[in-house]
Amino acid sequence: MILITGATGFIGRSLVQALEREGRGYRVYGGRVNDPLAIRAALEGVETVIHLAGAENRGRAHLLAHGDVEGTERLIEECERAEVGRLIVVSRLNADPNAWYPLLRAKGEQERLVRNSEIPYTILRTGTLFGRDDRFLNVIAALAFWSWPFVWLPNGGRGAMQPLWVEDFVRCLTATVDRPDLVDKTIELAGEERLHYFEIVHHVLDTAGMRRYRIRPSVKLFRRMMIIMSRLWRRPPVNRFFLDRFSVPEVAPLDSVLRHFGFHPVHMNQQTAYLRRLGWRRKLFRFDSG
């Protein structure tokens, strides 16, 4: 039996579908990750926990401390009590408890708690994920639509990324459950294309059929805009953590997925037809409820 936290999120929805296709037994945890009694009840009969829950989309540092760090600490305590056999945690590239950026610092603290626990674990660090309902390519398209006739390229869009299709990441995630050789290891996973942000934006505009003038504000100016957005939306579509991608390159070995899981992840242009839909034009105003 597998217990999944954060099952209603972007990764969680794809993971649940994959487990159903494979006929695996799983249980969705719908409570708060820092509620020890609720976690204790959900862990009954559970062998493996896949921990996806986090507060990144809320865009506030204090919620990271409350959810990602304190929540993981409560989860670990209850997993140790229940003698869970495996804890699989999804983290981010560049996670570091001493990082300057709040998200990477929170993920680093989370990893430290996991490594210091008595539970066999696997940490999967991932770069930016994309897919039909992502908060990455959809956000880029929506912002470009509503900021006509411009598109924003913070710091000229020079930040390096290796986007990974969410379904490929979930394939790695489900395989990890059956991989004892990955116990007590931290694995970095990213796509096989190393792209600059301006290249990603160009692909989004081309796929969505838009033409825009590119403007290159400083990250400092863009960060001020994010502060305003955070005050207008409970779950802002673009928050300070999104902006941190332009300050720290999200890169890993290009063969990371192939080396650890034996397959080539798809290239970004093979799985972005969803950007041709009209729905993303309104997504900027709907992310608050997501």
Average pLDDT, the chain: 88
The Cα-based distances of 231 to 89, 138, 250 in angstroms read 30, 21, 27
Q: How confident is the model at residue 230, as a pLDDT?
A: 64
Residue 123 belongs to a domain:
yes
Alpha-carbon span 188 to 287, nearest angstrom: 28
CATH number of the domain that 17 lies in?
Answer: 3.40.50.720
200 within a domain of the structure (yes/no): no
**Domain count along the chain:** 1
Alpha-carbon span 40 to 44, nearest angstrom:
7
pLDDT of residue 235: 60
Nearest to 137 by CA among 218, 197, 77: 197
The domain in which residue 176 lies consists of 2-194+239-289
Check whether 41 has a pLDDT greater than 80.
yes
- pLDDT value at 288 more than 70: no
Higher pLDDT, 36 or 228: 36
pLDDT tens digit string along 196-232? 999 999 999 999 889 999 888 776 776 677 666 666 6
The pLDDT, as a whole number, for residue 59 is: 61
168, part of any domain? yes
Strands (DSSP E) contained in 93-173 are 121-126, 129-130, 150-152, 160-161, 164-165
For residue 289, pLDDT beyond 50: no
Q: Examine residue 233 and state whether it is found in any structural domain, yes or no.
A: no
Give the pLDDT band (50/70/90) at residue 241: confident
C-alpha pair distances (Å), 74 with each of 8, 42, 56, 69, 244? 20, 13, 18, 9, 28
pTM: 0.90
pLDDT band at residue 244, thresholds of 50, 70 and 90? confident
Average pLDDT over residues 266-286: 75
Q: Which helix (H) or strand (E) holds 282?
A: helix 280-283
Q: Is the pLDDT of residue 1 over 70?
A: yes
Domain membership of residue 126 (yes or no) is: yes
Nearest partner of 250 among 134, 92, 99, 55, judged by Cα: 92
Residue 78 falls within a domain, yes or no? Answer: yes
